[in-house]
């Protein structure tokens, strides 16, 4: 099962966000958060917060292994 989190009303262009998210494709959550911690882009903080929100959402479902 996939968990989803959406960040709304973020004042960063989609292109700038994709520059950071393309680095994270295929990575595990812990590895992605580690990469984001040392990424010097403004979008990295927003993406990190959104990933943490998705993990919190996933923990609410007992059938999802986080």
pTM of structure: 0.87
- For the stretch 43-50, contacts whose Cβ atoms lie closer than 8 Å and that sit 24 or more positions apart, written own/partner, are 43/12, 43/16, 43/17, 43/19, 44/20, 46/7, 46/10, 46/12, 46/17, 47/7, 47/17, 47/20, 47/21, 49/7, 50/5, 50/6, 50/7
Quick one: pLDDT at residue 44?
Answer: 96
Quick one: pLDDT at residue 18?
Answer: 96
Q: Where are the domains of the chain?
A: 14-59
CATH of segment(s) 14-59:
3.90.470.10
Per-residue pLDDT tens listing for the chain (66 residues):
678 899 999 999 999 999 999 999 999 999 999 999 999 999 999 999 999 999 999 988 878 776
């Amino acid at each position: 099962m996939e968990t989803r989190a959406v960040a709304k009303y973020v004042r960063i262009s989609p292109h700038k966000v994709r520059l950071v998210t393309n680095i994270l494709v295929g990575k595990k959550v812990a590895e992605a958060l580690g990469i984001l911690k040392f990424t010097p882009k403004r979008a990295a903080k927003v993406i990190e917060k959104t990933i943490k929100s998705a993990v919190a959402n996933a923990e609410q479902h007992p059938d999802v292994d986080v």
